Amino acid sequence: MAVSTLIGARVVAAADESVPVWVTADAVRAGDEVADVDLVPGRALLTDGASATTYLGTGTEPAGVFDRDLEAGELVPAGALEAPGAQTRTDVPLSVEVGAAPVNLAVGDVVDVWVVPTDDTAVRPSAAQRVLRGVPVTVAGEVDALGSAGRQVVVRLAETRSARLLGDVLGAIGNGRVVLVRVGG
């Protein structure tokens, strides 16, 4: 009896640590309106340093546009929605060679974008240049199993940074090999 009481107490305590959150019923694409997407309430047991603000709680009526792709059954991150009429987004496509990004790079990861000069573009040996700092990945294409030399990755610039940086970023990318370094948690 004491063992079952202890187990029951732990189950109730674990249930008390979960929070109500929105979950995608079907896959969601970046740019989808919340009104056109089926979200269902779910519960999340927060571990690994996650807080109640990590995911979109059911106490919030979701509105706006998704800023990233989400799989069916995925918890909706709190930062995954842009407010209606929010800033214009600038998505930058990158061709990334095999070995130039983490193999498990995923949508939502935050990366620094570096350009490493190729042998024929190098002004001096190993003059790598960080061209973007702390940008979110919105598309993390898969490496082609047929032997493709890389994959397509898209990162998003905040509106305040996009106009100022875009020309410099594109110029630098054209002069070397793109390397993505995951940063943060």
Most confident of 87-101, 134-148, 159-173: 87-101
Query: What is the structure's pLDDT at 63?
Result: 85
- Please tell me whether residue 95 adopts helix, strand or coil conformation: strand
Contacts (Cβ under 8 Å, ≥6 apart) of 18 = 43, 44, 45, 46
C-alpha distance from residue 3 to each of 6, 15, 128 (Å): 5, 18, 60
Higher pLDDT, 49 or 62: 62
Residue range of the domain that includes 101: 90-182
Under 8 Å between Cβ of 153 and 96: yes
Residue 45 DSSP one-character state: E
Q: What tens digit of pLDDT does each residue of 80-102 get?
A: 887 766 656 688 899 999 889 99
Q: What percent of the chain has pLDDT over 90?
A: 18
Comparing CA positions, the residue from 57, 56, 65, 77 lying closest to residue 36 is 65
Contacts (Cβ under 8 Å, ≥6 apart) of 138 = 30, 67, 68, 69, 91, 107, 154, 155, 156
Query: What is the structure's pLDDT at 96?
Result: 93
Domain endpoint, select from 82, 103, 125 = 82
Higher pLDDT, 112 or 159: 112
Higher pLDDT, 140 or 47: 140
What CATH number has the domain bearing residue 51? 3.90.1210
Number of domains comprising the chain: 2
- The pLDDT mean for the chain works out to 78
Sign of the C-alpha dihedral computed for residues 102, 180, 56 and 29 taken in this order: negative
Query: What is the structure's pLDDT at 146?
Result: 61
Distance, in Å, from the CA atom of 70 to the CA atom of 138, rounded to the nearest integer, reads 10
Same domain, 101 and 134: yes
165-175: b or e for each residue (b if 16 or more CB lie within 10 Å)?
Answer: beeebeebbee
Same domain, 78 and 95: no
Same domain, 52 and 123: no
Sign of the C-alpha dihedral computed for residues 118, 175, 132 and 127 taken in this order: positive
Q: What tens digit of pLDDT does each residue of 11-61 get?
A: 545 555 788 999 999 988 877 888 878 899 999 887 665 566 778 889 888
Query: What's the pLDDT band for 9 if we cut at 50, 70, 90?
Result: very low
Domain endpoint, select from 47, 82, 117 = 82
Same domain, 60 and 29: yes
